[in-house]
Structure 1
């Protein structure tokens, strides 16, 4: 059994760790939320009491954390992974962070002889639970090949898209498309409902045509019901849109619609919807129309 140290057992990390256990990995998990650690242990994993304990003797170390400061702290902070990981270990960061953060981690761990992949994911909580995430990977081909059993356990598709940091650029593009699609679906719902149209039937037709999308497939019913139970929170999408705009500046390209989507997500956050699902962009659209 391949030994895995898994740090970060939140909405995404917990089901991913469980799927690794189901696939036959020996998973030692750590999170500051002790209940999350206990749940992993109840599902066949091992409860680690510290980062050091999770990393000890691990052949693969995995992190799934909310944002750059968390990655910086868990990797480089006191008691962090960098002080305990052994040369030759494969480190996979599933977190969505700035490309430069992933590149910095890769440089630091490269000096320690640690193999590194940045591997942000798309698919939300449902994708994590079902093990059908899309995984965008930056790093070396040999390391990607070595990580394939992990990717197969937690995802449906994984692609090596370039060197360290490349996965984060692709994830930024993903979040731009997702945010923009949610915004347009929200406007379509408001337009149909305000016009006296059966919006449920209308979205059914849209989902089957050229306007169809994964968002229409999975989210149209919950959006019509105004059920914004978080699978992926507005606060996190706000963070990701910041990454998109930073990446655009770094690449020196103009992304005018990215700015509009970022402002839309910021508006949702300013209206107190930070803990709601990103489909709550519908509520923002309704308020703009006084509905």
Structure 2
């Protein structure tokens, strides 16, 4: 069960204008840890970009990289064929999309609005309804990958909405994605993104639990990590995080506890709405709460091992 949302059937001004030929302007709102590198990829692909961020320093950085800067999301939409947004949460996206200075205030009929943010299916559905009423096409394109992959243009994007709209925006998204996949209508991409968030949080907690258990049983801490990584239970994610676990260096992360906790909150709320149980997500969220209570919300997600060690009265750091 997923939320049903309206989809506009208004024709675009020119779908061909969303390909590199002619290099139409792409709008981008939200120039943070992910949005900034995405804009860099768009510029390197030869696409003109008009950008906006509430933080003028980020806008200045985008301008230095070659983007034009707008004074509002509405201006971004008015000056572009397609607008992309990458913002932090429901409140910000609602303001960016629906306020008097928002994307929909500046978008003409046929404009393509593509949101990349990790937000709730509910706020996205509200935006879809508003966009349809104005003849604006709306795509939900969710992102899997780190800031490093964003900078390299190697993200994975899964998108939902009307397939024609996803097909139209895919050449733009390909500037920072190695794969763009259509995953269904409506809010499907949101549920898939939140499923991804559940796996990310629960996996970090599971490995932390396993490492703490084996180390308390007398196995050398580094050896536990090495065997788990090298054996049949290893994964790309564990290989990426193994040096961090060994060195206990959880600072300057690609994704921090606060962000992961926000994503799990969205997943837990959505699970209630669709009638599924998520005990592993709930447990991982509680471990993250412990890190936040210790003032460690800006550390890497995998620092949740410290919560598990604390429960076992282990002092390792």
Both proteins in one fold, TM over 0.5: yes
CA contact (8 A) 1:48 1:54 kept: yes
Aligned CA-pair RMSD: 1.7
In the superposition, the TM-score normalised over structure 2's length comes to 0.87
1:243 aligns with 2:266: yes
Please give the alpha-carbon distance, in whole angstroms, between the structure 1 residues aligned to 2:217 and 2:66. Answer: 53
Q: Counterpart in 2 of 1:135?
A: 157
Farther-moved stretch of structure 1 (171-180 vs 258-267)? 258-267
| 1:195 CA drift (Å) | 4.4
1:106 aligns with 2:123: no
Please give the alpha-carbon distance, in whole angstroms, between the structure 1 residues aligned to 2:27 and 2:220. Answer: 50
* Partner SS state of residue 253, structure 1: coil
CA contact (8 A) 2:27 2:51 kept: yes
| 1:246 CA drift (Å) | 1.5
Aligned runs of 1:49-198 on 2, under 5 Å?
A: 49-198=71-220
Which protein is bigger by CA-based radius of gyration? 2
| 1:25 CA drift (Å) | 1.2
* Ranges in structure 1 where 5+ consecutive residues have no aligned partner: none
The structure showing larger relative contact order (alpha-carbon pairs under 8 Å, at least 6 residues apart) is: 2
Please give the alpha-carbon distance, in whole angstroms, between the structure 2 residues aligned to 1:208 and 1:262. Answer: 28
* Partner SS state of residue 179, structure 2: strand
* Partner SS state of residue 253, structure 2: coil
Please give the alpha-carbon distance, in whole angstroms, between the structure 1 residues aligned to 2:59 and 2:219. Answer: 48
Please give the alpha-carbon distance, in whole angstroms, between the structure 1 residues aligned to 2:298 and 2:165. Answer: 36
* Partner SS state of residue 120, structure 1: strand
Match of 1:230 among 244, 253, 276: 253
Please give the alpha-carbon distance, in whole angstroms, between the structure 2 residues aligned to 1:284 and 1:195. Answer: 18
CA contact (8 A) 2:225 2:242 kept: yes
Aligned length: 291
CA contact (8 A) 1:200 1:221 kept: no
Q: Structure 1, residues 80-127: CA drift from partner, whole Å, max 9, x if none?
A: 112111111111100001111111111110111111111121212122
